[in-house]
Amino acid sequence: ENGNGDNNLFACKTKIFLFRLYREALKQAAIDPKTGRVDVAILTTGISAGERRLRADLAQTLKRYMKERKSTL
C-alpha cells in the first residue's frame, strides 16, 4: 500500500458528512413551516405554495369587495 489509504478514508468520511449536512440544510430550507411538508417552490420563489394560494385568495376577495363597493356608490 502506498500510505494513502487513511487519507482516502478520511476524504470519503468527509464527503459523506458534507452530503448529510447539505441534505439537512436543503430539507430545512424547503420545509413549509405551516404544513411541515417539503415545498420546493420555497427554494425558487421564497414563498410556499400555501402562502401563494392565500395571497391569491386575498387578492380575489379584495377585488370582489372593491367591485361591490364601487357599484353601491
Structure-model confidence comparison of residues 73 and 39, the more confident one? 39
How many angstroms separate the CA atoms of 61 and 72, rounded?
17
User: Quick check: helix, strand or coil at residue 46?
Assistant: coil
**What integer pLDDT is reported at residue 70 of this predicted model?**
87
Q: Whole-angstrom Cα distance, residue 40 to residue 30?
A: 6
Percent of the chain predicted with pLDDT > 70: 92
Mean pLDDT of the chain: 86
By the 10 Å C-beta count (0-12 exposed, 13-18 middle, 19+ buried), 32 is classed as middle
Cα 7 to chain centroid distance, Å, stands at 36
Cell numbers that stand for 22 in this block: 447539505
CB 42 within 8 A of CB 48: yes
Which tens digit of pLDDT belongs to each residue from 37-50? 888 888 888 898 88
pLDDT band at 54 (very low <50, low <70, confident <90, very high): very high
